[in-house]
A and B are shown apart, each in its own frame.
Chain A
Amino acid sequence: MKNQSVTNNIDWITIVLFIALVIMGWLNIYSASLPVQETSIFDIDQIYGKQILFIILTIPLILVVLTVDAKIYEKYAFVFYVIGLVSLLGLFVFGKTIKGQTNWYSLGGFTLQPSEFVKTSTALLLAKYLSDVQVNLKNFNDQLKAFVVMGVPLVLILLHDTGTAMIFVGLVFVLYREGLPSWYLVTGFSAIALFFMALLIEPHFVVAIVLVIILLQYLLSKRINRNPIASLVIFVIIAGFTYSVDFVYDNVLESHQKDRINVLFGDNVDMKNEGYNLNQSMIAIGSGSWFGKGFLEGTQTKGGFVPEQHTDYIFTTVGEEWGFVGAIVVISLFIFLFLRIIYLAENQKTKFSRVYGYCVATFLFMHFLVNISMLIRLFPTIGVPLPFFSYGGSSLFAFSILLFIFIKMDANKVNEW
């Protein structure tokens, strides 16, 4: 039963979802980048023409991924990981700066963004590490090693690109699935909540609320469980964190980052400057109504009001031209894809492929969450592409590789004896 055709046992549902998203993505890129004078859809000078080329190039790439022996990915996970890190470090020397971010290698006419591919290599090594039978995430040492695996690329990426770095934080969900104690998540979510609360309302007030909660918890708990020292320490940490938010906000964040947070919360935002992108994005989506303005009929899209519409803001075209109904369709496809991957992951026979599948689902989901939330003012503006949808060779290739490695592992599970 060995060496069957590459299509044997692969999960067609995932593939259909993938194809649907890529096609819908291209249609929206076409609309968003259509010049006044129509040209051939294969016109390589146009953005939509290039995207067609990228899509075509993806096919052999996928075939290669599906053909390679699934064992390779586990075996050489560490090698891939190191290559990834080297490619990130290389940016400091050979990197090309586009729009203020040095995330790119320039190869001939095309540019390549290594951080897109590092997601795959990190996922592989993390999967490999966690699948080791001796590793137990209840142990602090193992936790630490896991954090190092995901942390090193995260920090390297953070130096150029906050958005992609944020995506890596999602790997905590994978660790949690594999046994990381809950308090990591609780602490993390609490910190995020406190951060925004401290920005929104007076820090003293936040601290007062925290003090009341801790006191109540202390007084209401059973006498034997009371630990005044622990309660005090928790309070001091929280208070310190809360007060440091202002300091971080004022002294650490750069002005454009501050602007993005202001735009999210502020009422007094200049819609012509720092608020322009978000405002135009919301106008595009908000004016779509139930069924949208129709394919190629979006006035916001045609008029080029939304900047970077074919890349990070591609979903605004969906919202404007396809309306609420179209947006629901696209969102549903994504959600089905995520849940399908998680379902497949849970059914893997090896821990390695399960963790890897989980990483794939998490990465895709984090992109989806951050990308769409920033368009509708649920999250500060952070530039990350929408998987399979946004224009760009690097991201399409990288997401395809990421996904199809998992499809290959899944197809291969019958051989895992």
Chain B
Amino acid sequence: MRKAFLPSLIVLVTIIIVARLFYLQIIDDSYIKKSDNNAIKIKYDYPERGYMFDRNGTLLVANQPSYDVMVIPKDVKDIDTLGFCKLLKITKEEFLKKIEKAKIYSPRLPSVFLPQLNKKEYAGFQEKIRKFQGFYIQKRSLRDYQVNAAANVFGYITQVNEAIIKKNPYYKSGDLIGKQGVEEVYEDFLRGTKGVKYVQRDRFNREIGSYKEGIYDTIAVQGEDVTLSLDIELQKYGESLMINKRGGIVALEPKTGEILALVSAPSYDPAILVGRDRSKNYTKLNDDTLAMPLYDRGLLAEYPPGSPFKIMTGLIGLQEEVIDVNTSFVCHHGFSYGRGAFMKCHDSGTNNLHTGFAHSCNTYFANVFKLTIDKYPKPTYGVDAWSNHLKSFGLGSFMGYDLPAGRKGHIPDSRYYKRWYPNGGWRSTTIISNSIGQGEVSTTPIQLANMMASIANEGYYYTPHIIKKIKDHTIDKKYTTKHVTTVDKEHFKPVIEGLFGVYNEGTARSLRVEGIDICGKTGTAENFTKINGKRTQLTDHSIFVAFAPKDNPKIAIAVFVENGYWGARWAGPIASLMIEKYLRGKITRTDLEKRMLEGSLQNEYAKVTSGQPFSINN
């Protein structure tokens, strides 16, 4: 018994110690983290973001260095707070608030204390940083815009928020990320990959070499330069034409689907969303709920397209073989489609397809639409056939272009009408407004531009895209895949001739450009707003769609000017100037150009907020 005591005690103590070690080393894994926090410092090497070029190789977006003051709250001690605040021109309250905020994010991980010092501030601070334990400078690159244009195309750069950090572990507090436009869509290419260096440090926070000889380290991968399909000269010209107007211009290259210009007015200088005033300026832009400078009208303005839609009615009529080029209808200032139901038309006389386009005759297209729908035994079949044709032109869908903003528009089908008329009883004449682009259809400018590109190509289109080239990468297959329309090639010829007639003898003859054969269509969209809760009609939107030249088209365009009244008043001239500028590089019709550049619709826009009764369409 006495002999056994000491050996037993030794064994017992050993069991306790081993159990305790097992708990500490195997079961409780918190010490691994604590040890990493102690001894391993992660240093990031931020690569420069890729540049953006336009289709002609003009540099659009480059970078400038910026310096963030970072803080690790846990390491901050015994610093000369007043001197520190003076150096960075902040108050002591701000200092405490920022430290507190950083602490809430994490006491151990670095947070941005003060973002984006300029070079002078940086130089002053860099000299004294040694005195401020817990603070360091993180160099990043900020955008440096070479042009004051295309802000809506570029998008902007912002600091990642908590939600992004949680979703994508690549991003750490203080990292930058592209938002909106190309910056957002091509973020992965543009940003490159930051390099990570694990540095071992000792208890005095001194770096004592790389962790595990650097086996976990990665080298920063440079961001890739991207070439946009944008023609920056055309873009700038479009933006200048839209000064003091609201609206959008979308210009495409029909053969490729490349976006040549994407104008949204009003816009802003992309440079104001860089640097420390970024959030202040952003708030200002975001708070302007009337002009909505952050709202990309080329992609988002969703309206009934009006007359340009007649092109589709004609094409579908031909494809469905309910008309041929010679089929004519008589118009007596309108179309009577039921008892007491009458669609007005400004025209009279007998129109075939050609003159129907030239005169934009409502009666003609209402008849074509009615024949198309009634060709089928039931209107549901007719509407679905019609709807499918339209959808094959990219209408009624997001299309899949490479910009983050978009609207689907609306192309109704039988399901839609069955929901509206659950008891049936609807016929071609019930939905006759669709024939002239009113009623239930709605489109966005980029959809109309794509529609024109499909017509220019005589039956196919490529999904519109802003990307032309990414260094060392091929662009997404979906932008090089041809989409063929359900309307056959042979039916486009007469329609194109009709659209050419619009310029020569029709609603846009005043906009002819000597030597360029333009095919186009004017449009007018009624629109309403709510003023003090009352639905109020505003002056019509001016719409114009076109492509040129007629043979071998190089540009397809849709222009939309809010409250610009009829199509040929604002949208038509702007479209023709854009076409001339793109095809010729210079403008011959300087009077027209001057009128457009200087023209303002601000009075029209002021009506809504004036609080006074006002008249429209004058």
Point out residues on A near B: beta carbons under 8 Å.
36, 173, 176-177, 179, 280, 282-290, 297, 299-300, 302-305, 319-320, 323-324, 327-328, 331, 335, 338-339, 342, 346, 358, 361-362, 365, 369, 372-373, 376, 378
Considering only CB atoms, which chain A residue lies closest to B16 in the complex?
A378
Tell me which residues across on chain A come within 8 A of B17, comparing CB atoms: 331, 372-373, 376, 378
Q: Which of A299, A328, A342, A372 contacts B7 (CB 8 A)?
A: A342
Flag if A285 contacts B13 (CB, 8 Å): no
Interface residues in B, total, Cβ within 8 A: 38
Flag if B35 contacts A282 (CB, 8 Å): no
- Nearest 4 CB-CB pairs, A to B? A286-B31, A299-B39, A287-B35, A303-B202
Considering only CB atoms, which chain A residue lies closest to B34 in the complex?
A283
How many angstroms from the CA of A323 to the CA of B35 in the assembled complex? Answer: 14
Contact pattern, B 19-44, Cβ under 8 Å of A = 1, otherwise 0: 01110111011111011101110000
B209 CB, nearest partner CB in chain A, Å: 7
In B45-81, the 8 Å CB interface with A consists of none
Which of B24, B32, B36, B38: most chain A CB closer than 10 A?
Answer: B24
Tell me which residues across on chain B come within 8 A of A299, comparing CB atoms: 35-36, 38-40, 200, 211
Flag if B5 contacts A289 (CB, 8 Å): no
Known contacts A176-B2, A339-B7; A323 and B18 CB within 8 A of each other: no
Does chain A have a CB within 8 A of B606?
no
Considering only CB atoms, which chain A residue lies closest to B201 in the complex?
A303
Tell me which residues across on chain B come within 8 A of A297, comparing CB atoms: 212
Considering only CB atoms, which chain A residue lies closest to B28 in the complex?
A286
Tell me which residues across on chain B come within 8 A of A304, comparing CB atoms: 202-203
A340 CB, nearest partner CB in chain B, Å: 11
B3 CB, nearest partner CB in chain A, Å: 6
Known contacts A324-B22, A358-B6; A286 and B39 CB within 8 A of each other: no
Q: Which of B6, B11, B201, B209 contacts A177 (CB 8 A)?
A: B6
Flag if A289 contacts B26 (CB, 8 Å): yes
How many angstroms from the CA of A179 to the CA of B1 in the assembled complex? Answer: 11
Flag if A284 contacts B20 (CB, 8 Å): no
Does chain A have a CB within 8 A of B9?
yes
With A286-B28, A372-B17 given, name 7 new contacts (CB 8 A): A173-B5, A282-B24, A285-B25, A286-B30, A289-B26, A303-B201, A335-B14
Tell me which residues across on chain B come within 8 A of A176, comparing CB atoms: 2, 5
Does chain A have a CB within 8 A of B290?
no
Q: What are 22 A-to-B residue pairs whose CB atoms are below 8 Å?
A: A36-B209, A173-B6, A177-B5, A283-B34, A286-B28, A286-B30, A286-B31, A287-B35, A299-B211, A300-B35, A300-B38, A319-B24, A319-B25, A323-B25, A324-B21, A324-B25, A324-B26, A331-B17, A339-B7, A342-B10, A372-B17, A376-B20
Flag if B40 contacts A331 (CB, 8 Å): no
Helix, strand, loop or mixed for chain A's interface?
Answer: helix
How many angstroms from the CA of A176 to the CA of B10 in the assembled complex? Answer: 15
In B387-443, the 8 Å CB interface with A consists of none
Tell me which residues across on chain B come within 8 A of A303, comparing CB atoms: 38-39, 200-203, 208
Q: Which of A302, A335, A378 contacts B202 (CB 8 A)?
A: A302
Tell me which residues across on chain B come within 8 A of A302, comparing CB atoms: 39, 200, 202, 208
Tell me which residues across on chain B come within 8 A of A300, comparing CB atoms: 35, 38-39
Tell me which residues across on chain B come within 8 A of A289, comparing CB atoms: 25-26, 29, 32
B479 CB, nearest partner CB in chain A, Å: 49
Q: Which of A173, A346, A372 contacts B9 (CB 8 A)?
A: A173
Flag if B203 contacts A305 (CB, 8 Å): yes
Tell me which residues across on chain B come within 8 A of A365, comparing CB atoms: 6, 9-10, 13
Known contacts A283-B34, A290-B26; A319 and B200 CB within 8 A of each other: no
Which of A280, A303, A358: most chain B CB closer than 10 A?
Answer: A303
Considering only CB atoms, which chain A residue lies closest to B33 in the complex?
A287
B390 CB, nearest partner CB in chain A, Å: 64
How many angstroms from the CA of A289 to the CA of B35 in the assembled complex? Answer: 12
How many angstroms from the CA of A346 to the CA of B25 in the assembled complex? Answer: 36
Flag if A361 contacts B34 (CB, 8 Å): no
How many angstroms from the CA of A231 to the CA of B212 in the assembled complex? Answer: 65
How many angstroms from the CA of A176 to the CA of B202 in the assembled complex? Answer: 48
Considering only CB atoms, which chain B residue lies closest to A376 in the complex?
B20
Considering only CB atoms, which chain B residue lies closest to A285 in the complex?
B24
Flag if B34 contacts A287 (CB, 8 Å): yes
How many angstroms from the CA of A158 to the CA of B355 in the assembled complex? Answer: 117
Tell me which residues across on chain B come within 8 A of A358, comparing CB atoms: 6
How many angstroms from the CA of A376 to the CA of B23 in the assembled complex? Answer: 10
A294 CB, nearest partner CB in chain B, Å: 9
In B202-232, the 8 Å CB interface with A consists of 202-203, 208-209, 211-212
How many angstroms from the CA of A111 to the CA of B491 in the assembled complex? Answer: 107
Tell me which residues across on chain A come within 8 A of B212, comparing CB atoms: 297
A301 CB, nearest partner CB in chain B, Å: 9
Flag if B25 contacts A284 (CB, 8 Å): no
Tell me which residues across on chain A come within 8 A of B13, comparing CB atoms: 365, 369
Considering only CB atoms, which chain A residue lies closest to B39 in the complex?
A299
Tell me which residues across on chain B come within 8 A of A331, comparing CB atoms: 14, 17-18
Known contacts A303-B203, A305-B203, A358-B6; A319 and B21 CB within 8 A of each other: yes
Tell me which residues across on chain A come within 8 A of B203, comparing CB atoms: 280, 303-305
How many angstroms from the CA of A358 to the CA of B14 in the assembled complex? Answer: 18
Q: Which of B11, B14, B31, B200 contacts A283 (CB 8 A)?
A: B31
Tell me which residues across on chain B come within 8 A of A179, comparing CB atoms: 2
How many angstroms from the CA of A328 to the CA of B38 in the assembled complex? Answer: 26
How many angstroms from the CA of A29 to the CA of B273 in the assembled complex? Answer: 57
How many angstroms from the CA of A319 to the CA of B212 in the assembled complex? Answer: 18
B168 CB, nearest partner CB in chain A, Å: 28
Considering only CB atoms, which chain A residue lies closest to B30 in the complex?
A286
Which of A290, A299, A335: most chain B CB closer than 10 A?
Answer: A299
Tell me which residues across on chain A come within 8 A of B200, comparing CB atoms: 299, 302-303
How many angstroms from the CA of A331 to the CA of B15 in the assembled complex? Answer: 10
Tell me which residues across on chain A come within 8 A of B35, comparing CB atoms: 283-284, 286-287, 299-300, 320
How many angstroms from the CA of A341 to the CA of B30 in the assembled complex? Answer: 39
Tell me which residues across on chain A come within 8 A of B36, comparing CB atoms: 287, 299
Which of B10, B30, B212: most chain A CB closer than 10 A?
Answer: B10
Tell me which residues across on chain A come within 8 A of B5, comparing CB atoms: 173, 176-177
A214 CB, nearest partner CB in chain B, Å: 26
Flag if A287 contacts B209 (CB, 8 Å): no
Flag if A342 contacts B34 (CB, 8 Å): no
How many angstroms from the CA of A136 to the CA of B587 in the assembled complex? Answer: 125
Considering only CB atoms, which chain B residue lies closest to A325 in the complex?
B25
